[in-house]
Amino acid sequence: MPYLKEKVCLVTGASRGIGRGIALQLAVNGATCYITGRNSEKLELVVDEAKKREACGKIIPVQCDHSNDTEVEKVFDLIDKEYDGKLDLLVNNAYSAVSWLLENAKQCFWDHQIDAWDEVNQVGLRNHFICTVHASRMMVKRRKGLIVNISSVGGILYFLTPAYGIGKTAVSSFSSCIRHPSFKQFSKKPLILNLTPQKDRMAKDCANDLEKYNVAFVSVWPGPVQTEIFAKETDLMASKSALTWLFKHGETTEFTGKCIASLLLDPDIMKKSGQVLLASDIAGEFDLKDVDGQDPVSMRSLKGMFAGSGHIWIAEYIPSFFKLPKWLFSFLGSFAKPSMEKLASKYA
């Protein structure tokens, strides 16, 4: 794993789940990692875990409600003051709507309260942009930095409710494109023909403005992750054998952290800027395994796709290395139909 000594990082929403896993991996590999969350006691537990592992870096907890712009600004002011404007990595991971989504997934979107949009996207979308603005102001001065949005396949697949998918599509743009070499005669860069309907997303458009300042911006899609919340959803898992298989063969909460730690020292990171990167693809590039020594199932693998569609017995016989090209994965994903049946609408 890379040695991240002297790297200053910020991971939002790091009191549990993927955020906690990312912070631990950064600290274990030498980074100074600020973490935010609403519950200070849970943040301290992450600090204790890093000490227990004798991490060569350190974790600095900062209580913050990411729906409050003033509190968010104070986090960046603190880092600016304590490290003289140095911020090497921002990971936008804060998300406050997981429990709400699971509780309301079976309702049609028009049966939700009108403020459901804010419940889902106030922190998971708007706050990502606010944090990106503050981080960019620090990074462009030093002509160096990496911003990572933690998003999901919900950017191309229907998942639970439209508000979720709209938010995830805005956060990331799955770059499935062909570079047309003939355009070089008119421009230094080849023409990019986008084969997917997703455009004007946060990672792609912000990366465009940041490029000349040598600041990279990528969106990372973890696969099925064995988070604490989903582990508690025993009824959901019991009723969906496909979900049970996917999470059993999925990623630990620290797998994405190992991937981001490698991206932070990637000399070619600017070539990836503006793109969506699957955690499993990053792991393949840097020859990474999960913290439990396993290779989690890739969302692009035929094995994972057959298992996800309920054909588990077929999936067991398919080698993991059979994967769809990114453009085909994105294209087919846009046609996927939701499997969860909605309750009858009270307005019908």
Catalytic residues: 164
Strand partners, 220: 150, 277
- For residues 264 and 288, the answer to whether their CB atoms sit within 8 Å is no
Strand partners, 179: 192
Paired tokens of 128: 């990502």
- For residues 172 and 155, the answer to whether their CB atoms sit within 8 Å is yes
End-to-end CA distance of the chain: 56
Interatomic CA distance for residues 174 and 310, integer angstroms: 25
Q: Tell me the C-alpha to C-alpha distance, in Å, between residue 341 and each of 116, 165, 306, 307, 345.
A: 20, 17, 20, 19, 12
In the chain, DSSP assigns E strands to: 8-11, 32-37, 58-63, 89-92, 145-150, 177-180, 191-194, 215-221, 276-278
Paired tokens of 308: 């996800």
Interatomic CA distance for residues 297 and 212, integer angstroms: 36
Interatomic CA distance for residues 148 and 93, integer angstroms: 8
94-126 in b/e form (b: 16+ CB < 10 A) is bbbbbebbeebbebbeebbeeebbebbbbbbbb
Paired tokens of 202: 């946060």
Q: What angle do CA 250, 256, 257 make, to 5 degrees?
A: 135
Count CB-CB contacts under 10 A for residue 185.
6
- For residues 265 and 4, the answer to whether their CB atoms sit within 8 Å is yes
Letter for the amino acid at 199?
K
